[in-house]
Amino acid sequence: MNAADSVLAADAVSVRRGDQSILDELSLSIPAGSRTLVRGPSGSGKTTLFSILGLLDTPDEGHVLVDGTDASSLSERRRARLRRDAIGFVFQDFQLVPDLTARENALLPQTHGGERDPDWVDELLETLAVADRADRYPATLSGGEKQRVAIARALANRPDVVLADEPTGQLDPETTERVTGLLLDVHDSADTALVTISHDPSLASLFERTVTLRNGQLSETSSA
Ligand SMILES: Nc1ncnc2c1ncn2[C@@H]1O[C@H](COP(=O)(O)OP(=O)(O)OP(=O)(O)O)[C@@H](O)[C@H]1O
């Protein structure tokens, strides 16, 4: 697939930290509505790759294209708008705002200029089985509940693509299966592409494509 036809693409992206090369002319295309699992040893650069793909960081070399637009050609303001409208992010450590309730956290992408659709957010909280926690603050939620609120927030703007960094890392196997199922249901109904980092081998069969990051490069295994 041509990078310009993807909802999200990295084109020959390199990232260095000090004298360490983390990503080495790495390319990746994410087609609309696709499901990609990203694996790789600890420290191989998966989170770094996500921060580049999610426009939270810029590469030392190469380009990131969102819906065919080269993010490096945009002003910081337009890049932030593109990030808000096109990309949902589930952070490894959730990054919920402590003095906002679960519902307010999930609504954040909409209160920051996105299209307002609180009914959709309430539906997401319901689907993710945290609607009864909507008025609680993050400090009073379990790890798994925080994770589900973070997933609702990532989907609030119906993004073209969701980047989820270990979205089931805090969950027991049964809840992992449920949350993954819900993530995939929402992905199916909203036609959102899903890119997920996970070490959990049981997830591979749910993704049509698995890519493995090693030595700054990606290798691909088709699991379809
Ligand atoms: N800001 C930074 N400064 C220096 N080195 C960094 C920085 N951020 C990450 N690194 C290094 O980059 C490498 C890749 O880190 P990254 O967090 O992307 O790996 P990862 O594959 O997500 O790891 P894990 O599976 O353990 O979460 C590591 O060696 C890490 O120490």
What is 3-222's CATH number? 3.40.50.300
How close is the Cα of 128 to the center of ligand 1, in Å?
A: 30
Both tokens of residue 141? 């939620």
Q: What is the pLDDT of residues 114-173, one digit of tens each?
A: 678 899 999 999 988 899 999 999 999 998 899 889 999 998 988 999 999 887 776 777
- The residue whose CA has the least distance to atom 24 of ligand 1 is 42
Q: What is the pLDDT of residue 222?
A: 60
**Residue 193: which pLDDT band, with cuts at 50, 70 and 90?**
very high
Q: Are strands 69-70 and 193-197 parallel, antiparallel or unpaired?
A: unpaired
1, amino acid identity: M
Q: In the predicted model, what is the mean pLDDT of residues 35-55?
A: 94
How many angstroms is it from 15 CA to the middle of ligand 1?
Answer: 11
**169 C-alpha to center of ligand 1: Å?**
17
Local confidence band at 175 (pLDDT 50, 70, 90 cut-offs) = confident
Angstrom distance (rounded) from CA 206 to CA 186: 14
pLDDT for position 119: 94
Domain boundaries, the chain: 3-222
Q: Is pLDDT above 60 for 3?
A: no
What average pLDDT does the structure give for the chain?
A: 88
Write the pLDDT tens digit of every residue in 71-109: 988 999 899 889 988 999 988 888 999 999 999 999 998
pTM: 0.88
Q: Which of 178 and 121 is assigned the larger pLDDT? A: 121
67 CA to centre of own chain: 16
Q: Is the pLDDT of residue 70 over 70?
A: yes
| Residues having CB within 6 Å of any atom of ligand 1 | 17, 22, 40, 42-48
* Complex prediction ipTM: 0.93
Q: Which whole-number Å values give the CA distances from 188 to 35, 158, 181, 185, 221, in the listed order?
A: 10, 12, 10, 5, 22
Q: Stretch 190-219: mean pLDDT, rounded?
A: 88
Q: Which of 69, 1, 24 is nearest to 209 (CA)?
A: 1
Q: Residue 187: pLDDT above 80?
A: no
**Residue 164 identity (one-letter amino acid):** A
Q: Is the pLDDT of residue 209 over 80?
A: yes
